[in-house]
Homo-oligomer: A and B are copies of this chain.
């Protein structure tokens, strides 16, 4: 444990410099969903390759048809476990920009309302700050001990926020490079600021964009109103019908593969110190909106959803325009749980829309990624090792939780590479990821680095089996 102590101490002493490195990475606006930022994504990938080379990794940027992948490798002692670390360097768009207190790509270290230090900026929590916790842990290990306790491959993608279109072909063509005993993924949250969490369930995702077309041009609502199909109205009706009065999604077959929560899991969740009022209250809400008769944890961890993420049609500028639009668009996503089949859900949605199209209207669909949910076994040795390592670092013991978000790569690691994933992250619920004023707690960043050092040391000692 002398090695670990000196590594932890090294991390503490070099925190300022690790913050500077993170800020350099945060300054690159690597928004993957908008082609205007393609070059910035490239720059972020190159920056990471350079940083990993500097600490002795054999690092490469791999071009794809989309944003590039970074893959870096450093061998550990002979016979040591082989781990893959996964993160993503791409970030969400920043609109509405006017709601940011500062430039989202000019990160600062500021005091939060509770006096805690925090790092601001898009990507600070999702996922640049988190992925750097692992790289900093490796840096300190190498600096203090001359090497890593495990063989480590670091795999950073740049399309996580835009459906990961290049991921599957890349996994298939780099199966040998990427296969490991276990994947370590740092893209999740703490249970609360003192309680680390390991996520054992993740919702899947189906992203769909639908465009309803009606007339061949925009129409004057005086001349044509009352006789012409209005695609916004048609789209609104379809969206309005997606849920029944109990908040259940009425797509045929939607709940196929969605079991009721096992009693033992429900018991674990019921015992978690969770305040529904606080969870909703932090964002100005008070009442669960979704399926009636379900707790918020059930709603967000073990129940599927249909959400409209964006809608647009007709005149949306200042003032008023009496137009009947030629088309209307919506971006709709489905969060999937357990064994729901993304392809079946997508097809059911498309059929649902088509069946509701009035005469003269047609629907056009555009796919924005899809991945099934994943459920990790509760009894793996890696899980137990990580739980102990995390519990040693933080005030409270680590808990095992579900997760409402989707990390498609977890399912693909399992299916394509036969590799389980350990999901450990240091974000907090109020990090405002995907929203204006995203931030990452300095404590998350510092103790996150220390947590990974502990986990790497423990895996090196005990192995993964």
Q: How many Å lie between the Cα of A242 and that of B230 in the bound state?
A: 13
CB pair B163–A320 under 8 Å, yes or no, is: yes
User: How many copies altogether?
Assistant: 2
Q: A235-B236, A236-B240, A287-B359 are in contact. Are A225 and B320 (CB under 8 A)?
A: no
Closest chain B residue to A403 by CB distance?
B222
Partner of A222, one of B285, B308, B358, B405: B405
Partner of A300, one of B207, B225, B320: B225
Question: Is A316 an interface position by the 8 A CB rule?
Answer: yes
CB pair B233–A307 under 8 Å, yes or no, is: yes
CB pair A335–B226 under 8 Å, yes or no, is: yes
CB pair A435–B305 under 8 Å, yes or no, is: no
Binds B, one of A71-79, A208-216, A417-425: A208-216
Binds B, one of A13-21, A113-121, A128-136, A321-329: A321-329
CB pair B287–A360 under 8 Å, yes or no, is: yes
Question: Is A449 an interface position by the 8 A CB rule?
Answer: no
CB pair A285–B229 under 8 Å, yes or no, is: yes
Q: A308-B233, A310-B325 are in contact. Are A283 and B404 (CB under 8 A)?
A: no
Binds B, one of A145-153, A288-296, A342-350, A380-388: A288-296
CB pair A434–B322 under 8 Å, yes or no, is: yes
User: Which residues of chain B are near A318, meaning CB under 8 Å?
Assistant: 33-35
Q: A230-B308, A299-B227, A313-B310 are in contact. Are A222 and B289 (CB under 8 A)?
A: no
Size of the A side of the interface (Cβ < 8 Å), in residues, is 102
Partner of A405, one of B207, B220, B434: B220
CB pair B221–A335 under 8 Å, yes or no, is: yes
Q: A321-B92, A360-B287 are in contact. Are A316 and B305 (CB under 8 A)?
A: no
User: Which residues of chain B are near A312, meaning CB under 8 Å?
Assistant: 311-313, 316
User: Which residues of chain B are near A310, meaning CB under 8 Å?
Assistant: 232, 313-316, 321, 323, 325
Q: A33-B320, A285-B214, A434-B322 are in contact. Are A309 and B300 (CB under 8 A)?
A: no
Question: Is A217 an interface position by the 8 A CB rule?
Answer: yes
Question: Is A286 an interface position by the 8 A CB rule?
Answer: yes
CB pair B319–A162 under 8 Å, yes or no, is: yes
CB pair A284–B226 under 8 Å, yes or no, is: no
A321 nearest CB across to chain B (Å): 6
User: Which residues of chain B are near A233, meaning CB under 8 Å?
Assistant: 239-240, 242-243, 307-308
CB pair B436–A218 under 8 Å, yes or no, is: yes
CB pair A93–B333 under 8 Å, yes or no, is: no
Q: 0/1 per residue, A184-206, Cβ < 8 Å to B?
A: 00000100000000000001010
Closest chain B residue to A297 by CB distance?
B227
Q: How many Å lie between the Cα of A378 and that of B18 in the bound state?
A: 83
Closest chain B residue to A279 by CB distance?
B227
Closest chain B residue to A303 by CB distance?
B226
Closest chain B residue to A208 by CB distance?
B320
List A352-402 residues whose CB lies under 8 Å from chain B: 358-360, 368-369
User: Which residues of chain B are near A315, meaning CB under 8 Å?
Assistant: 93, 95, 309-310, 331
Partner of A207, one of B237, B320, B436: B320
CB pair A286–B223 under 8 Å, yes or no, is: no
A349 nearest CB across to chain B (Å): 15
CB pair B205–A286 under 8 Å, yes or no, is: no
Q: A203-B222, A360-B289 are in contact. Are A236 and B311 (CB under 8 A)?
A: yes
Closest chain B residue to A324 by CB distance?
B307
Q: How many Å lie between the Cα of A230 and that of B369 in the bound state?
A: 22
Partner of A435, one of B220, B239, B243, B404: B220
Closest chain B residue to A335 by CB distance?
B225
List A148-197 residues whose CB lies under 8 Å from chain B: 161-163, 189
Question: Could you list 5 A-B pairs, sorted by A, with CB under 8 Å?
Answer: A93-B321, A214-B284, A226-B305, A289-B359, A321-B434
Q: Which residues of A contact B (CB under 8 A)?
A: 32-35, 92-93, 95-96, 99, 161-163, 189, 203, 205, 207, 209, 214-230, 232-233, 235-243, 279-280, 283-291, 296, 299-300, 303-305, 307-325, 328-331, 333, 335, 358-360, 368-369, 403-406, 429, 432-436
